[in-house]
Amino acid sequence: MIFGLTYLDIIVMTLYFGVIIYIGVRASFGVKSQEDYLLGGRKFGKLTSTFASFGQATSADGPAGVATTTFNNGAAGIWSSLLMLFVTPLFWITAPWLRRMRMLTMGDFYKERYGSNGMAATYALIASIGMMGLLSVGYMAVAKTATAMTPKPVTELSQTETIELAQAASLKRLEASDISQFTPAGLEELDQLRKANPRSIFSYLNETMLIWAICFIVLLYTILGGLEAAVYTDLLQGVFIIILSIILLPFAWSSINELYGGNGMMSALTHLHQQLPEDSFEIFGAPQTIDFTWYFILTAALVSGLTVVTQPNQLVTAGAAKDEYSARIGFVTGTFMKRVVTILWGMLGLAAILLFSKEINNPDLTWGHATRALLGPLNMGLIGLMLASMMAALMSTADCLMLTVSGLIVNNLYKPFADNPSEKKLIFVGRIAGGIFLIGGAIITTQFDNILQILKFIWEFFVVFAAAFWLGLKWRKANKKGAWLSIVGSFSLFYLIPILLPLLFPQMRTAEGLLKQTNPSAMEREYTARPMDVANRNQAIAEWNQAVANNKTVGTQPALLVEGDKFKKAYQLPKKAIYWSKGVSTSSDNSLQGNGYIYLELLLLDTLGFDLSKNPYALNESIRLLIRLIFPFLLLIFGSLLFKVKQEAFLIPFYNKMRIPVSEKGKAHDKELLQAGLANFNNSSATLLFPNSDWEFYKWNRQDSVGFILAWCMVLGVLVLLYFAVTLGS
């Protein structure tokens, strides 16, 4: 055994990474230009584009994250990854636009549409930081999963680790208890343990060293092979993630049947419904995930849907396709594949509740623990293969993000100011920039406490550019001054000032008025008692009796519960900070302090007389997200109407490209179409839905309409699949 892994696991991992590095070396022989390096020569068809999209959508945080939230919150936890489901049909429309731009980077859009190298450079810098944050999600997920796969036995824990493990067990017990039985001291203990967030597993592996090892491997094969190497590794890891996601479920069902009798999937699902608490199967409105209300899900989906298209990696995924049809098929199909696999990950999370609830104190470790428990006894190297696949999932995302950032830095920062650099020099600078990006992502990982904090940061970050992108595409009156006002104003008010203020005035973090939190009332639900409910109640009675025996102050004795009884269960939702991005915590002197940056928009609303502490946390978050989405659009419209700019010279070539589909006959023919379009630009207005206005809405053809309708049918299909997956066997 090495680091808790068998020699066969180590051999499998070594072979897997050997293949990946070989792909990078082999692909390096075909890199002759920036387009080869950054976009793989724009030669990928529907199948390759599908797995490239799936690889981009599925990083290491996917399986681990969904299993974690489902284990912690029941079926409703699946929404942590399924939020984007409702905007997936939009990609059927936007993917051809991204391919039709015929650009190397998203920064080129701001240069060509607004005639501003400075705006393109600003986008390159800010977007690179955002991509570092996106990469850090994967770094953290792999570290958590690898930790669970390589645990230290209890006998090898230090005294400090043993104490922390006991605190984690206490937190888990209190979280599962009915708070109506709590004394004030018990509620205080729960609150303190939530803030302390003790670890429940300790690993042989050092998370930091693991992150840097992954960083090195990605550097090696991506710097060599560019996007072609990245896409082929996406295909490889995508296949393995799907296979291993499917493989885990039969072993989980088999383990359930071994415990409770029977055989086959239906028997296992029936046991799940018979044994687990009823609230584990609430898809909407589960008490544990009350923040995932219908209005928060729709708001988050709207914001993330409109901002994800502005992320620089989206242009790379669509722009590498050989034509528009391949781009839209790949983009939408790959994304829906992720939605379906997400449900499988959620089902594993439900099975893990039944199988491992007494063993797992930290839900972040669910996927890794389940892998070790279900696949380890086979001794076939499958733990090594799963760990390698998880790391490859991260690396396939990291390599595409690295290439995206390389293109931004080279094309929009270096090239405009360099003295006619050669293709070889541009590729060299891109490789250096990509290496810096990977290292930056590893550093950012240490600045967040958990995956959800980083995800929320990414969802919101690109609202800064959303208005300039969407109105730049669709409203010809949008101009450079309006776009600058929107970008600078939004970035300053939502990020720059909120970050600087607590740094310049640290007393803000402890100011009483800024520490306001939501004040949720206890929630009560009625359920039918199942075996796990009975077991939890018996444990609560035993603990109550022990407390009485020790002369401790306790509440009323919990009532005896019998399977099949109707009973009420009270939940105490945690208080959550209103103004601070990373919440409020207790400092060493037991005083409260705000963490992260401050939400000025919510502070303004509260100052105007809206008492946000009375709102559910989900409502405050929905209001904040909508403000961040709408405000940049208002700024751009106001700025463009107030400050007139003559810009027809560069608008015509830009909109000419957007009106003419990419030729399927090759680059030479495509160039001829663009030249002919410029010569007869006014004639192309026939493609517009409102030709006599300033709006660039294109008429839909049969492919647009049929594909969009089918995409919505797929959304419905995924929802039906989710419903049946959760209710089957009940």
The residues spanned by each domain of the chain are 7-151+201-246+276-461, 464-529+565-645
The secondary structure of residue 323, as a DSSP letter, is S
Tokens of residue 594, six digits: 């705000």
CB-count exposure of residue 383 (10 Å: 0-12, 13-18, 19+): buried
Q: Can you name the residues that pair with 526 across neighbouring β-strands?
A: 568
223 contacts 431 by C-beta, under 8 angstroms: yes
Q: How far is the CA of 358 from the CAs of 211, 274, 346, 364, 535, in angstroms?
A: 29, 18, 19, 15, 12
Q: Per-residue pLDDT for 396 more than 70?
A: no
Among 138, 32, 103, 135, which residue's Cα sits nearest to residue 407? 103
**Bridge partners of 475?**
695
Which residue has 């029941």 as its token pair? 74
**The two three-digit tokens of residue 389, written as one number:** 């696949």
Instruction: Return d(Cα 522, Cα 568) in angstroms, integer.
Output: 12
Q: Residue 156 pLDDT more than 80?
A: no
Specify the pLDDT at position 186.
72
pLDDT of residue 606 exceeding 70: yes
Give the lowest-confidence range in 4-13, 137-146, 152-161: 137-146
What is residue 34's three-state secondary structure? helix
Q: Over the Cα atoms of the chain, what is R_g?
A: 27
Q: Is the pLDDT of residue 56 over 70?
A: no
Highest mean pLDDT among 297-306, 378-387, 719-728: 719-728
What is the mean predicted confidence (pLDDT) over 546-564? Answer: 77
Cα separation values, 151 from 5, 72, 202, Å: 10, 20, 6
Lowest mean per-residue pLDDT among 26-40, 423-437, 644-658, 700-714: 26-40
* pLDDT greater than 80 at residue 267: yes
Given a contact cutoff of 8 angstroms between Cβ atoms, the answer to whether 387 and 149 are in contact is yes
Whether pLDDT at 662 is above 90? no
Length of the chain counted residue by residue = 730
List the one residue out of 425, 397, 418 whose CA is nearest residue 134.
397
Domain 7-151+201-246+276-461 has CATH 1.20.1730.10: yes
pLDDT score, position 87: 86
CA dist 562 → 18, 21, 530, 537, 566 (Å)? 57, 59, 8, 9, 9
Q: For all residues of the chain together, what is the average pLDDT?
A: 80
Please report, for residues 275, 281, 543, the alpha-carbon distance to residue 566 in angstroms, rounded to integers and kept in the order given. Answer: 15, 17, 23
* Amino acid 231: pLDDT: 65
pLDDT band at 579 (very low <50, low <70, confident <90, very high): very high
pLDDT, position 450: 54
pLDDT at position 190 over 80: no
Termini Cα distance of the chain: 42
- In DSSP terms, 577 is beta-bridged to 517
Per the CB < 8 A criterion, the answer to whether 593 and 587 are in contact is yes
Token code pair at residue 575: 């208080």
Per-residue pLDDT at 221 exceeds 60? no
Confidence of residue 55 (pLDDT cuts 50, 70, 90): low
| Total Cβ atoms within 10 A of residue 631 | 18
105 vs 600: which has the higher pLDDT = 600
Assess contact for 479 and 635: CB atoms under 8 A. no
Collapsing DSSP to helix, strand or coil, 580 comes out as strand
Range from 219-228, 490-499, 579-588 carrying the lowest mean pLDDT: 219-228
Reading the block at residue 506, the tokens are 């640290």
Residue in the structure block whose two tokens are 């770094």: 139
Minimum mean pLDDT range among 238-252, 412-426, 448-462, 624-638: 448-462
Structure tokens at 355: 């199988």
Residue 650: pLDDT band with limits 50, 70, 90: confident
pLDDT (average), residues 448-467 = 70
Coil/strand/helix, residue 310: coil
Q: How far is CA 320 from CA 18, 227, 433, in A?
A: 26, 9, 20
Q: What is the pLDDT of residue 666?
A: 79
Burial category of 704 from C-beta neighbours within 10 Å (exposed 0-12, middle 13-18, buried 19 and up) = middle
Structure confidence at residue 428 as a pLDDT band (50, 70, 90): confident
pTM score of the predicted model: 0.78
For residue 361, pLDDT beyond 70:
no
